[in-house]
Amino acid sequence: MQRIRLRYTKRGRLRFTSHRDFQRAFERALRRSEVPMAYSAGFTPHPKVSYANAAPTGTGSEAEFLEIALTEARDPDVLRELLNDSLPDGLDITDAVEARTSGLADRLTASIWEMRLDGVLVEEAEKAVAAFNGAEAVEVQRRTKNGVRSFDARSAVVDLQALDQQTDRPGAKACAILRLVVRHVTPAVRPDDVLSGLRVVADLAPPVPAAVTRLAQGLFDEESGTVTDPLAPDREAAPAALPTATGTAVATAPEGAGTA
């Protein structure tokens, strides 16, 4: 059995698809591409697909991840192209690697988010960000299926900055961009929770809903303060190419692969 890990996006109008909608679209793409999927056992077998930490409905993303199990070996890049041909525009597979390490979900410990606040001056956003960053705790509320829940939105935030996106074009509207690095904790702190926190500490309330996009997701590096690529360990664990007598590199076969 071969395992392939994929990075995919949710762009444009496809940001409004639910996780279940994406699952249906992805499984249709697997069938259309004739991917040799491994299936679970039991009375209702399902393709072995593992989804990791999906973004909330309504948010865009450049860094969603999943893993599939195959019964026959396939080239990850070829598989990526086949799936993209069968997926709608906006749901795009941007990276594919063979899984050679364990614990992909364990490497998704933080996310980088971008929040576009149309109608908000950057000076307003900077004051609100300073108040949020200076607070020891920012209690917000979120409605769940079990009722309203209160929790601290500040402790999970590693970094929050306001970026100036205003232009000198005539008629251009004010627009502030917030860049947010947040740890994945329990309960999860989402971008809308941080916006609620900005409303609590500085009464910042954008006139229109914020456009939210996840830019990256992976292991948080304490030294650099960055989020690393969770697929990098699988690339690094891949067998090195062997030089031939003519100097041309030849890739080694995956472990356990048979001969023709």
**Residue 67 forms beta bridges with which residues?**
5, 50
CA distance 260 to 255: 15
Q: Identify the three-state secondary structure at position 44.
A: coil
Q: Are 176 and 163 in contact (CB under 8 A)?
A: yes
Question: 121 or 244: whose pLDDT is higher?
Answer: 121
Q: Are 54 and 9 in contact (CB under 8 A)?
A: no
Q: Count the neighbouring beta carbons within 10 Å of the beta carbon of residue 6.
A: 21
Q: Whose CA is closest to 6, among 49, 61, 36?
A: 49
Q: Whose CA is closest to 116, among 162, 169, 55, 184?
A: 162
CA distance 196 to 142: 9
State which of 83, 106, 129 marks the end of a domain.
Answer: 106
State which of 106, 123, 138 marks the end of a domain.
Answer: 106
Residue 250 binned pLDDT confidence (cut-offs 50, 70, 90): very low
Question: What Å distances lie between residue 50 and 118, 133, 192, 250, CA to CA?
Answer: 36, 35, 26, 32
Residue 98 binned pLDDT confidence (cut-offs 50, 70, 90): very high
Are 25 and 102 in the same domain?
A: yes
User: What DSSP line would sit under 205-229, residue for residue?
Assistant: --SSPPEEEEEEEEEEETTTTEEEP
Are 99 and 22 in the same domain?
A: yes
Are 116 and 219 in the same domain?
A: yes
Kindly give the interhelix angle for 19-32 and 76-86, rounded to the nearest 10 degrees. 110
Question: What is the pTM for the complete model shown?
Answer: 0.86
Are 94 and 116 in the same domain?
A: no
**What average pLDDT does this structure show over 194-215?**
96
- Domain containing 217 equals 108-228
Model confidence at 243: pLDDT above 70: no
Model confidence at 162: pLDDT above 60: yes
Model confidence at 141: pLDDT above 70: yes
Residue 97's pLDDT is what? Answer: 97
End-to-end CA distance of the chain: 17
Are 15 and 84 in the same domain?
A: yes
Residue 259 binned pLDDT confidence (cut-offs 50, 70, 90): very low
Tell me, what CATH number does 127's domain have? 3.30.70
